[in-house]
Amino acid sequence: MREGLFEIFQETFQELRPGHSLPELKIEFFAFANINNTIRLREGKLLVRLSDLLEGAPDTVFRAIAHILLAKMYRRPIDRGQAARYRKYVGSHDITRKAHLVRQMRGRKRLLPARGHFYDLDAVFEDLNTRFFYGLMARPRMSWSQNKTRRILGHYDPAHNAIIISRIFDHPAIPPYVLEYIVYHEMLHLKHPVKLRGSRRCVHSAEFQAEEKLFPQAGQANAFLKRL
Ligand SMILES: [Zn+2]
């Protein structure tokens, strides 16, 4: 969570509703298909979802968003200056272009079911989650690739929050630990996010590589993959 975001919402709430205390608040960044921010009140808790396209925005923009969302929630007039500040930021060249690209990318992707002919990727994920991540990892969309590609064995796609595994592994000749090793690698990408700046590099930090070696059959799996 971005530092200070909670405080921004708290201060904005006090401005709009002096004397009231802020309900329990949960803020999350969410991969909307376009720039979108939502607020809901559920069972006395406020749930705020902000577009992940705004993650790098300055505090002034988050103050404007907090004002707009909370004013909407509590039916207070929206300050013109705040509305203008938000519109100006979202309308700025960079953000609209980024939103456009992300929308294109998200729209184009076709994800297939996790259950293959032989292996179920959801089950593989949950098993690894328990064994290596204390069951703490939120499962992304798990999908087999459309084609039996050998070029890309697996990848994590942050725009769709999806792990896509090559269909060549959905086969009885593939030992479970080989598929698990591929999925484990992609799960480490979830755990060690990389700020992608335009390129589609697959970056493995020293920390990432050290953790990858913790997979007990890493050696065997690598040997198998070399013969693939
Ligand atoms: Zn990788």
* Token pair recorded at residue 223: 């040997």
Long-range contact pairs involving 143-147 (C-beta distance under 8 Å, separation at least 24): 143/111, 143/112, 143/113, 143/114, 144/112, 144/113, 144/114, 144/116, 144/170, 145/112, 146/110, 146/112
Query: Could you list the pLDDT tens digit for every one of the 228 residues in the chain?
Result: 567 899 999 999 999 999 999 999 999 888 766 677 899 999 999 999 988 878 778 899 999 999 999 999 999 999 999 999 998 888 776 777 677 677 666 666 678 999 999 999 999 999 999 999 888 888 999 999 988 888 889 988 877 888 999 999 999 999 999 999 999 999 998 888 765 444 445 578 888 899 999 999 999 999 999 998
Q: Cα separations (Å) of 173 from 183, 188, 221?
A: 17, 25, 13
Going from the Cα of 70 to the center of ligand 1, the distance in angstroms, rounded, reads 40
Helix or strand holding residue 38 (H, E): strand 37-42
**Predicted pLDDT of residue 195:** 52
Whole-angstrom Cα Rg for the chain: 21
Going from the Cα of 203 to the center of ligand 1, the distance in angstroms, rounded, reads 6
How far is CA 104 from its chain centroid? 17
Going from the Cα of 209 to the center of ligand 1, the distance in angstroms, rounded, reads 10
**Predicted pLDDT of residue 33:** 63
Going from the Cα of 114 to the center of ligand 1, the distance in angstroms, rounded, reads 20
**Predicted pLDDT of residue 199:** 45
**Predicted pLDDT of residue 12:** 96
Residue with tokens 């013109």: 80
* Exposure letters 72-95 (e unless 16+ CB within 10 A, then b): ebeeeeeeeebeebbeebbeeeeb
What residues have CB less than 8 Å from 148, skipping those under 6 apart?
166, 167, 168
Going from the Cα of 167 to the center of ligand 1, the distance in angstroms, rounded, reads 17
Edge-to-edge order in the sheet of strand 24-30: 24-30, 45-51, 37-42
Pairing assessment for the beta strands 37-42 and 45-51 based on DSSP bridges: antiparallel
Pairing assessment for the beta strands 37-42 and 24-30 based on DSSP bridges: unpaired
Going from the Cα of 94 to the center of ligand 1, the distance in angstroms, rounded, reads 28
Give the whole-angstrom CA distance, residue 18 versus residue 21. 8
Going from the Cα of 152 to the center of ligand 1, the distance in angstroms, rounded, reads 10
Going from the Cα of 20 to the center of ligand 1, the distance in angstroms, rounded, reads 48
Going from the Cα of 2 to the center of ligand 1, the distance in angstroms, rounded, reads 26
Going from the Cα of 187 to the center of ligand 1, the distance in angstroms, rounded, reads 9
